[in-house]
A and B are shown apart, each in its own frame.
Chain A
Amino acid sequence: MPALSLPLCVLCAWLVIVVFYLVPKKLSLLDLIFLYFAVGICITSTFTYLDVDAHTSTVSRSLDKSLAVIVCRVVTIPLLLILTANAVRSWTGMRRWGTLFAVFIMLTAFDTLLGAVGMITYHHRGLFDVVVMYAAFIAFTNLVAWWFSTLKGKVVSRR
């Protein structure tokens, strides 16, 4: 049986990129770059802590599965989180909350799927922990997006 983890995760990541590209965005290029950096830092710190320190989410050390997890953490999850910030900035009412809920369900289901196929091994970690973690990620993303939007100012010196 050929290793399918990496191609399947890359396919998922590419589909997220397609959706991300098509969705109308109120965020500017600067907002997107900053959010990607901030969310990337948050995600890598959290997952590394859970793997290396807390030992609650251990990533498989096989080459195929570990690269697949890297793709998920570098592409799939950050872009989905940025979509929530875009939804909060762009829309109101049902469209905003519907998007937030849909992304939240997608992230939670995706995380559970990674555990079911053996890419990540969960110890002492239940659905509640996953729900709280992704809710915190979404809250963090929108908080930093709001903070970045408040930055205004002009260049003082061009020397």
Chain B
Amino acid sequence: MKVYDHHFNANEWFVIGALCVGVVVVCVLPRRFPPKRAVIYYMTGVFCGFFFDHTLSVIPVSFYDVNDTSQFQFIDFLSYWMYGPVSYLFFYVYGHLDIKPVFNPLYILCWSSVSVGVEWVAVRVGVFHYQNGYNLGYSFPIYLLVQSVWLLIWYKTRDALDTPLQRGL
């Protein structure tokens, strides 16, 4: 087990602060989506955080550790929930601005740039610890890919009815 820190300090406060600010923003914004879609849009970010941090960052090679140690701690679990407001805002702003499909790549580029910036801050305060050759530059294409998938989710759920599918997806 690798230990990077022993104290409750900047990285923990960053996670707690980001989570609180994100949840407040989500709650304060006027409701655009029905409850089920709102939950899905929030969970999209959380799921992506869990997926990448618990698969690609663990097996076969651990490219980065999260927070104070290489083990899975409660603050790590909490840190993934701070991705939820990010994805919710991604979908919210996209719907609010009514972005035309021709501007989708530009929208994704803007959000990916912001995401890289936030990750840079997170690395500086000790939330992420890169290893085995990983660096911030590799996160940029990952954000582009992930947020492209987010837009696919938007188009699939935008007009989805809450009725049984019967056969097939």
Chain A residues within 8 Å of B, Cβ to Cβ: 21-34, 36-38, 40-41, 44-45, 47-49, 51-53, 59, 61-63, 66-67, 69-70, 73-74, 148, 151-159
Contact = CB atoms under 8 A, between A and B. Distances in A.
Contacts of A29: 156-157, 160-161, 165, 169
* SS class, residues of chain A in contact with chain B: helix
Interface string B46-67: 1100110011001111000000
A73 B36 contact: no
B34 A38 contact: no
Given A27-B164, A37-B40, 10 more contacts: A25-B165, A28-B162, A33-B40, A40-B47, A41-B47, A44-B54, A61-B60, A61-B61, A153-B35, A159-B96
B50 A28 contact: no
A52 B70 contact: yes
Contacts of B40: 30, 33-34, 37
Interface in B125-157: 153, 156-157
B55 A74 contact: yes
B164 A28 contact: yes
Interface of B: 30-37, 39-40, 43-44, 46-47, 50-51, 54-55, 58-61, 70-72, 77, 80, 96, 153, 156-157, 160-169
A48 B50 CA distance: 10
Given A63-B60, A154-B34, A156-B30, A41 B55 contact: no
A62 B156 contact: no
Contact of B160 (A28, A73, A74): A28
A74 B48 CA distance: 12
B34 A155 contact: yes
B43 A153 contact: no
Contacts of A24: 166-167
A28 B35 contact: no
A28 B161 contact: yes
Contacts of A52: 58, 70-72
Contacts of B43: 34, 37-38, 41
9 contacts: A24-B166, A25-B167, A34-B40, A37-B47, A38-B43, A41-B46, A151-B35, A155-B31, A159-B96
